[in-house]
Structure 1
Amino acid sequence: MRCNILASLLEVVVVLVSFLGTNAEDPYRFFNWNVTYGDVYPLGVRQQGILINGQFPGPDIHSVTNDNLIINVFNNLPEPFLLSWNGVQQRRNSWQDGVYGTTCPIPPGKNFTYTLQVKDQIGSFYYFPSLAFHKAAGGFGGIRILSRPRIPVPFDEPAGDYTVLIGDWYKKNHTDLKAILDRGKKLPLPDGILINGRGANGTAFAVEKGKTYRFRISNVGLMNSLNIRFQNHRMKLVEVEGTHTVQSKYSSLDIHVGQSYSVLVTADMPSQDFYILVSSRFTNPVLTSTAILRYSNSAGPFSGPLPGGPTIQIDWSLNQARSIRTNLTASGPRPNPQGSYHYGQINTTRTIILANSAGQVNGKQRYAVNSVSFVPQETPLKLADNFKIGGVFRVGSISDKPSGGGIYLDTSVMGADFRAFIEIVFQNNENIVQSWHLDGYAFFVVGMDGGQWTTASRKGYNLYDAVSRCTTQVYPKSWTAIYLALDNVGMWNLRTEFWARQYLGQQFYLRVYSSVESIRDEYPIPKMPLLAERLQGGTHVPYNSMPL
């Protein structure tokens, strides 16, 4: 059953109006976005990019904790489209997550109003298009959630607040890249690195001598870990994906695919232009791009040497990752110390071990989690679950542990109990850095190390001040362990952030279930006008599913 058939069912469901789930006491922020194709020249050649209100990248979302965001998206592309919100937790509301497992695509020429509340969140995140390899064409932008005025922030208000979207990029159009994947082939290495949608020296950030600025840096790319450094300046890390961190200083910072960091940089050098350098990590060749840190009354470019990147050794990056810890004395979105939640004193009730793999299925390249390569259905899984439609997916179609067998195709859904506290171990048996993201949640990154994870590995866990975030890296031939409180009912996408691998199956859905159906735990299904054309009128535009 397709989304178009479900339109008739939804119209007879008694639900709340489109502002469902928002709190009338909290402010509303309204956005009208027009999504189109347009010519872009990020690496000097003309490409078909995705523009939002004519912008590439798209406009930032500025908000404050608990704000209600009403985002009306008009899809003027000739194919279905969805936006997802990387790190915005969608409390009790996976309907608005914007991935195909939970939401019908917006048909061409139609619109949908996302109704989100940034409930009990602060921090730096981003949005991106989640269908049909659109992410390789743009359509992404920054999200910032500021603390409420009465909640203290553990640093002085900066003189400026900048969004910095970094990522690898191809000169080929996204349709050509998608065609390569549809034929079952691997993508080549990217052609360059973009900083806010531009290549080398295309972006400048204005600063005044003696003042401090906040840079919210997100890796919105497709496959490469990146390193950022400010020439002759140090970065003070202050926030990672909604968590205030211990304010350590770094000369360079690794930011893996899908991750977001906030740093403070003080303009304490002579009034000149300095380079901001972003380069790919663990690649041959190394791709590098630059932006400009431009002092007011600049005397011209600084003539000193450019700061070199860090060693290619994995241990350097691993040790830096371990140094990122929660600031236990800082308030989060509420006026209490972030360390008051003693996650290390809670017993886990389940251990899930996830192993990524790559291989051929029916002569085509596929990627998998615990040997299962995800195949989407024409009916979004969350809708099938809500209407008890059989034959769409099966809970338990992916196991808790690696099977060791070959890759096979299935619509993989893992069941989990509401309010359980669990341990997930990402085991990487490949020679690449992996990056994993879970929608709807933040989790505690309690440990990472080389080799195979065993129960003895728990002896090295950080059970005191581990950082809470929504995306984590796993180093080659290594493991990363997280603790997760399942306090958000819904169907949530757990995926690799390597977008070609995600497209070719390295993802699944975590169904967090409560037997008590209550709006206190999960909002009812909204009246969704994003459904595809009905069978009675017009031509149905089906979701462009992954190749089998």
Structure 2
Amino acid sequence: MGRGVMLIAVLCLWAGTLASVRGEDPYLFFTWNLTYGTISPLGVPQQVILINNEFPGPNINSTSNNNIVINVFNNLDEPFLFTWSGIQQRKNSWEDGVLGTNCPILPGTNKTYRFQVKDQIGSYIYYPTTGFHRAAGGFGGLRVNSRLLIPVPYADPEDDYTVIINDWYTKSHTTLRQFLDSGRSIGRPDGVLINGKNAKGDGSDQPLFTMKPGKTYKYRICNAGLKSTLNFRIQGHLMKLVEMEGSHVIQNEYESLDVHIGQCFSVLVTADKEPKDYYMVASTRFIKTVLTGKGIIRYENGKGPASPELPAAPVGWAWSLNQFRSFRWNLTASAARPNPQGSYHYGSINITRTLKLVNSAHRVGGKLRYAINGVSHVDAPTPLKLAEYFQVADKVFKYDVMEDSIPDNQGNSNAEIVMQANVKNLTFRNFVEIIFENHEKSMQSWHLDGYSFFAVAVEPGRWNPEKRKNYNLLDAVSRTTVQVFPKSWAAIMLTFDNAGMWNIRSEMWERAYLGQQMYVSVLSPERSLRDEYNLPDNALLCGLVKDLPKPPSYSFGG
């Protein structure tokens, strides 16, 4: 054994001993190299973003309370950031990976992300948040498994598979970004991928997954796309839904599932059909031209190709709305639940503040922009969180430019909008109701970083206080993403008990890029480690704070 290898072994042994002495949770270490590569997922050679030469990127397979350390080397020609969508980083918006909290990783440099996955057993995704990189890849699955001492409400599956579905454009991410910068839309996608591929159906396709007859498998299905809701189904097989975005749910069976952008579902599938090949299918919803992606599931020792007759997708969004209403939180599951500060009896907590967020599309100087309550967000050169922490926020942005709600007649394309950083100041530990109201004919999908929320209602029409009578105040699913149908609204409820600067955004990346996002600043009254971690020693600094001395560190005494 060489001296270098011996030294690494000794250091690893020392680190493991130290962790056990301190009682720390296990660490998982990853090194990711970002590069460009050329592949042809839809038959057209194009540039994509690879992580360690993989497209999609590698799965992060973790267990609750694991500490995740990811050293990212940016070998691209543009600044880059990852976000860990749905992972509730308690007290740690420093690692959220969005431009409102982090300086990007410059080309030719690296950054190490450090965060801990808490008791949020479930399925998530990560993806880029800078520029329009998400259109080129850089996304993958992130799973949080249960510790052995915490049972989950179903038997262990034979195997556990991640299925990343997404709409896809054959134009490069730089071309699509130029469209947006010039005031144009990116238009409709060119196809649909399943784990970066689309089966040709000519007998040359290799299986994405293999199943043994009679065995049950878990499939984690996540929509990492840009613009399209996707309906997912498996030829000839029912799917038993068991989890979504960190919450165990009542285990209903479905022939297909509408997976809106940013959402993740876990289903159990039993290999109880004739041993042969079967297609898993993902197709676009709510657009005129239906695009379909396919992948092969193969039974071990099976004989025969998959039938070319694909299962039909549902029609219309009323079906999808009814499916949402069928989702219920599993209140009897003994597994850990999200929202560790506890708002389980959310239906009996008094609402302290209501935000009604109305999305709208506009033309500003002939260029397309999207807004929330008349404010179209623009990223500042200095990340908002850093400006706040270094106490120079007044030089970077203004709080509460956006009103808590706007009159109904202002949520349209003719209303004037403001283009600047959109930051809302929320009181620490307040219980807040947020209404997402969609006056447009398009589908919407919203995500909130740093929290799980209770999705209590999705309904057609306009919201008013009388609509609270329609809320599910008992077993709404605690999750991180919610859809809003055309000319409809959605209501969520949560306690803002996670100090930090957190992003609320459209998951439709064209909209987020052009302003349909905002930040909520949740400040603890005390500068205390009980409420928020210190700025990491390896934090990247830029803008106005680049050369400023660091403020005094937090302590447990405040």
Q: Output the TM-score relative to the length of structure 2.
A: 0.89
Task: Provide, for residues 507-545 of structure 1, a one-character-per-residue CA deviation record: whole Å limited to 9, x for no partner.
Answer: 0101112221111100011123544699999xxxxxxxx
1:456 to 466, 470, 474: 466
In structure 2, relative to structure 1, the CA distance for the partners of 1:464 and 1:534 (3 Å cut) is closer
Is residue 332–residue 338 contact of structure 1 (8 Å, CA) maintained in 2?
no
8 Å Cα contact 1:47-1:173 kept in structure 2: yes
2:427 corresponds in structure 1 to: 417
* Aligned residue in 2 for 1:286: 290
Query: Which whole-Å CA distance do the structure 1 matches of 2:51 and 2:346 have between them?
Result: 40
Q: Decide whether aligned partners of structure 1 residues 441 and 340 sit closer, same or farther in structure 2, where only a CA change above 3 A counts.
A: closer
Corresponding position: 1:392 with 2:396: yes
Which deviates further from its counterpart, 75-84 or 248-257? Answer: 75-84
Alignment CA distance shift 1:536-1:440 (3 Å): closer
Alpha carbons 2:239, 2:256 under 8 Å: kept: yes
Q: 1:211 to 1:92 in 2, by over 3 A?
A: same
Q: Which residue of 1 aligns with 2:553?
A: none
Say whether the 8 Å CA contact 2:120–2:247 is kept in structure 1.
Answer: no
1:363 paired with 2:363, answer: no
Deviations 1:120-159 (A, max 9, x none): 2210001001101000000011000001101011000000
- Counterparts in 2 of 1:124-523, with a 5 A limit? 124-201=123-200, 204-303=208-307, 305-311=309-315, 313-333=316-336, 341-389=344-392, 390-402=394-406, 404=410, 405-523=415-533
- Which residue type is aligned with residue 112 of structure 2? T
Q: Tell me the distance in 2 between the aligned counterparts of 1:159 and 1:380.
A: 45
Rate the CA distance shift 1:487–1:115 in 2: closer, same or farther, 3 A.
Answer: same
Amino acid at match of 2:257: L
Offset at 1:317? 0.4
**Partner Cα separation in structure 2 for residue 117 and residue 388 of structure 1:** 27
Q: Residue 500 of structure 1: SS of its match in structure 2?
A: helix
Counterpart of 1:373, as a letter, is S
Amino acid at match of 1:387: F
Which amino acid counterpart does residue 168 of structure 1 have in structure 2? D
Tell which deviates more after alignment, 490-499 or 297-306: 297-306
Query: Which residue matches 1:84?
Result: 83
Distance 1:163 1:514 in 2: 37
| One-letter amino acid of the counterpart of residue 292, structure 2 | T
Answer yes or no: is the 8 Å Cα contact 1:280–1:286 preserved in 2: yes
User: Equivalents in 2 of 1:106, 1:339: separation in Å?
Assistant: 35
User: Deviations along 1:179-200, whole A, 9 cap, x unmatched?
Assistant: 1011011111000001001123
- Looking at structure 1, the residues matched to 133 and 343 of structure 2 have their Cα atoms a distance apart, in angstroms, of 41
Higher RCO (C-alpha 8 Å, min separation 6): 1
Aligned identity (percent) is 56
8 Å CA contact 1:373–1:407 kept in 2: the answer is yes
Q: Please give the alpha-carbon distance, in whole angstroms, between the structure 1 residues aligned to 2:274 and 2:208.
A: 17
Letter of the 1:326 counterpart: W
1:373 to 1:24, Cα distance in 2 relative to 1, 3 A:
farther
Q: Is the 8 A contact 1:243 1:332 kept in 2?
A: no
Return closer, same or farther for 1:192/1:536 CA change in 2, 3 Å cut-off.
closer
The answer as to whether partners of 1:328 and 1:337 remain within 8 angstroms in 2 is no
Q: Secondary structure at the match of 2:502?
A: strand
Structure 1 runs not aligned, ≥5 long: 1-18, 538-548
Q: Tell me the distance in 1 between the aligned counterparts of 2:116 and 2:100.
A: 20
Partner in structure 1 of residue 71 of structure 2: 72
Aligned partners of 1:264 and 1:244: how far apart in 2? 12
After superposition, give the CA deviation of every residue in 1:334-367 in whole Å (9 maximum; x if it has no partner): 6999999211111111111000000101211000
TM-score with structure 1 length normalisation? 0.91
Query: What is the distance in 2 between the residues matched to 1:231 and 1:338?
Result: 41
Q: Which residue of 2 aligns with 1:115?
A: 114
Alignment of 1:55-66 (within 5 A): 55-66=54-65
For the 8 Å contact 2:246–2:338, the answer to whether it is kept is no
Task: Tell me the residue number matched to 1:545.
Answer: none
Please give the secondary structure, in 2, of the residue aligned with 1:472. strand
In the alignment, the residues of structure 2 paired with residue 324 and residue 471 of structure 1 have an alpha-carbon distance, to the nearest angstrom, of 14
Cα distance in 2, alignment partners of residues 224 and 334 from structure 1: 29
Stretch deviating more after TM superposition (213-222 or 402-411) = 402-411
- Is the contact made by 1:92 and 1:490 (CA closer than 8 Å) also made in structure 2? yes
Shift of 1:333: 2.2
**RMSD of aligned residue pairs (Cα, Å):** 2.2
Report what 1:4 is aligned to.
Answer: none
Is the Cα–Cα contact under 8 Å of residues 330 and 338 in structure 1 kept in the other structure?
A: no
Q: Output the CA distance in 1 between the equivalents of 2:103 and 2:538.
A: 9
**Which residue identity is paired with 1:223?**
K
Q: Which amino acid aligns with 1:113?
A: T
Amino acid at match of 1:517: R
> Are the equivalent residues in 2 in contact too, given 1:152–1:335 (CA < 8 A)?
no
- Cα distance in 1 between the residues matched to 2:337 and 2:185: 45
Identify if the C-alpha distance between structure 1 residues 347 and 534 changes in structure 2 by more than 3 Å, giving closer, same or farther: closer
- 2:469 is paired with a residue of what secondary structure? helix
| Distance of aligned partners of 1:52 and 1:270 in 2 relative to their CA distance in 1, 3 Å threshold | same
Please state how far the C-alpha of 1:295 moved relative to its aligned partner. 0.4
Q: Is the 8 A contact 2:339 2:452 kept in 1?
A: no
CA contact (8 A) 2:283 2:291 kept: yes
Contact map agreement 1:105 1:531 (CA 8 A) in 2: no
What displacement does 1:408 show?
2.2
Unpaired segments ≥5 residues, structure 2: 1-17, 548-558
